[in-house]
Structure 1
């Protein structure tokens, strides 16, 4: 494995082009429906686009991102961008954290501060982590896969190779959204290296065997039946984005890669709908934080390739055979405003659930919304694996 240091450098021409496009936005007419009922609110989007064009400081964000130690690894022909932050403590525990969509490696800044240097936040240095945060293939500064086959399973194989190449024979994994799928695949395929996984989301394609011929499978509990019904109802009303990503991603990409306002509408609506913000995005996310994430998608032209993993995961969903178990123990942090809320028994059909936490607040973007709660839960789970 070959590794090179990496630094983000967006050209002045790219910045000028972005501002020109933002200022030339051709606005869609608003409908008579209530605000946000049919998608992104027009007034909110106009305000965000104006801020992006005239007040947002990409150069300041670029300096902050470059303060994190970043690298590019060559893994069997696939270039992978990653942050590798060393812990401040006597024996930091190695942990790979994987983001999802519509996030990026940038969403973990506050979480890394707390995991890598717990003493700076009043914690114990013995709880420090060495944290590796790769960018998924086709996201941000990781180029898209050159060939088909970038589902959670293939990504997990690359992450295992990356961690070995960095000198970590045994490690833990953490993730939400698509990153939860990668973490599950790491545990299922690399139990010799992965000691445990911490999740704050359960992929919707996860399904244990429910075959009536499998005598070991317990009947669905009422809580499980309610969960499956709620999941179906959510998909019908809120899951259109995922269906497009998984079936016709290139059609959508042609628009979003050309229009920064369109990109902001597509992604911004999810930060509102999936977070614990009571409908007011900036209760949880500043404009600067939203725009740093959006700018990473824009400058790398990765919105189209970021959808590819939905296509791949549709072809390789998380289906488990009768009696199949994932060996490494699992911790699950269930945030109240997350987009699904599986009962513990649903996970226990396949996983050894060693820790379960019902969080008092927070949503889908837990690392940004509640970094203290998430960091504390991660520390508590992985303490059992420390020498």
Structure 2
């Protein structure tokens, strides 16, 4: 067995033990670098490199050469050409080339019945053409546009998948992710009704919203299992779920709409499909910690935390779920090296006891200016050495 393969197996064992909320050999260090950060850190022009998977590979090799990591997520970014080919309205490029998601409402408030009756038909025949005008053409031009876009997407994402596997093998660092999905409420809000629309709908048509959440859930389940159908007894790869709307809505809306539909969704994914989930609780979820305790104890869920009280999280949701995050990315950007190390010690002292913690930042690194590389190197190496279980 090669040294890299041995390192890979040791790291995978650490991660699997951590998910069981047990103490591994040491606290694993996760790589939170986005492709955009890797490209800028490597000194490559973002717009050109982001269109070229081979440039992404060069960039990530430098990130792996320069810093200590124990795991990383599969390389992912939204392919710019895919959205250009479809004239996308829901994902657009900034001046720098970053793909952004503007506020958009593709569905009218009086169209809930159509979505509830046949969500697939409604999405394909009406909503997708509104989001992607290239599909709103007479045949065969719409099919031609879809074919071109699908080929571009498959080629781009396939190349990233190969690069991910190559990085994992060459550096002995497990790539944990395989796919991405979203919560039912986020799906309905972000893609179809927009923030303003969904907030109006829950007041005017609450029952319709609930029925719509139930209607789109099977589609989201199918999407979550598209890359990997799940297998009992197998921990990785996981499906990544970034949660969006919850911190921006009131408690009543959360209790009535967001949380019940999400609990049902993850129950299907974990208990019926056998998937492992990495859930990013974006924003401050501290007021929702009591609800998060409703998630049954599981060795198939990682809860990535951004803000909130670390001690409270460790003593409540940390009893049932493996936690990740909490280290402030802002400190790596503006703090001194000693301040960064001191904060890392505080995080490890609170989060590591008893296991169930993966060290990572509270946000993903998007730009090279977000972190001082010397600070990040010092913190990662400190956690590697200090986070050893006695």
- Normalised to the residue count of structure 1, the TM-score between the two structures is 0.27
Higher relative contact order (CA 8 A, sep 6+): 2
Structure having the larger proportion of residues in strand: 1
Instruction: Give TM-score scaled by structure 2 length.
Output: 0.27
Q: Which has the higher helix share?
A: 2
